[in-house]
Amino acid sequence: MTVPAAVAMAITFVWVGLVVGISFIEAPLKFRAPGVTLPIGLGIGRLVFRAVNGVEVVFAVLVVAALIAGIGDRIAAVGLMVAVAVLAVQLIAVRPTLTRRSDAILAGGDAPRSSAHHVFIALELAKLVALLVGGIAALASL
């Protein structure tokens, strides 16, 4: 295995853990904790996802650098590029809509439900699958 492939694989599996831990465990559970209101949960969620997305951008840059350096496995490369593309769509197209809604709620307003949250979740699932495909393919190319 080349160094770029090893780096991409390591980053990929850490990224998988981050997505599973935050998006599919922490995010839904925080609203079930005693005393956590919608505004408090949204405030926490915004902070957490801002930090997570920052880490994801760093991971995406490192993965793209590893792809440019040549990881050698086509399936791994496609999976990782899909994950990077999904992250870009989340950050550019979906997150601003979610931010506007949470801004309104945190300002004391009552924003209508939005399908953007479901789109974000679907994209998280797609990103997770792409990361797993890319990571497993990179691992299999040892």
Domain count, the chain: 1
pLDDT computed for residue 3 by the predictor:
85
User: Phi, psi at residue 109, to the nearest 5°?
Assistant: -85, 180
pLDDT averaged per 10 residues in sequence order, the chain, 142 residues? 85 97 94 92 94 98 91 90 98 95 88 88 98 93 75
Q: Quickly tell me which residue has 């496995």 as its tokens.
A: 73
Torsion of CA 111, 114, 19, 71, to 10 degrees: -130
Picking from 98, 11, 26, the residue whose alpha carbon sits closest to that of residue 62 is 11
Q: How far apart are CA 126 and CA 105, in angstroms?
A: 28
pLDDT computed for residue 25 by the predictor:
96
Catalogue the E-assigned strands of 2-133: none
DSSP state letter for 56: H
pLDDT computed for residue 51 by the predictor:
97
pLDDT computed for residue 43 by the predictor:
92
8 A C-beta contact, residue 47 and residue 102: no
Q: How far apart are CA 62 and CA 56, in angstroms?
A: 10
